[in-house]
Amino acid sequence: MNGSIYERELLNILSGNIKTIEKIGKNLDPVSRDILYSLISKPFYVSRTAGSFGADLISLRDDYSMVIEVKSSEREQLTFSESSGVKQEQAIKLNNRCINSGLFITYAYRLKGVKGDPWRFFSIE
């Protein structure tokens, strides 16, 4: 599946899209479901900014903002090591741009084919 599908899925979740939240929420425990459903009443403004070596989403709200790079895989771990060095170079460039702006990059990692919450969020040092 193309990664842009997951970018759109996360955009819809953070934007408080009821259909997407209900679809994801049906597989969650009650506490996680309540947290997810809170996005309906207090959504983010999300802009998709996909492009080479740039963040995929910018998510803003009065109390929080995120510069988000979306990755997806069937593997439990997201690895940045590869012979070409493309992922490492992208991570360093994004991180440096965010640091210079007083922000930090958030990685949204979408696990394919899992039960429960398929999304994992983390940042790099």
| Range(s) of the domain holding residue 24 | 3-123
**Domain containing 39 — which CATH number?**
3.40.1350
Domain count along the chain:
1
3-class secondary-structure state, position 87: helix
Q: Would you say residue 53 has pLDDT above 70? A: no
Rounded Cα distance, 100 and 102, in Å: 6
Q: Are 120 and 82 in contact (CB under 8 A)?
A: no
Confidence class of residue 105 from pLDDT cuts 50, 70 and 90? confident
pTM of the complete model beyond 0.75:
yes
Decide if pLDDT at 63 tops 70: yes
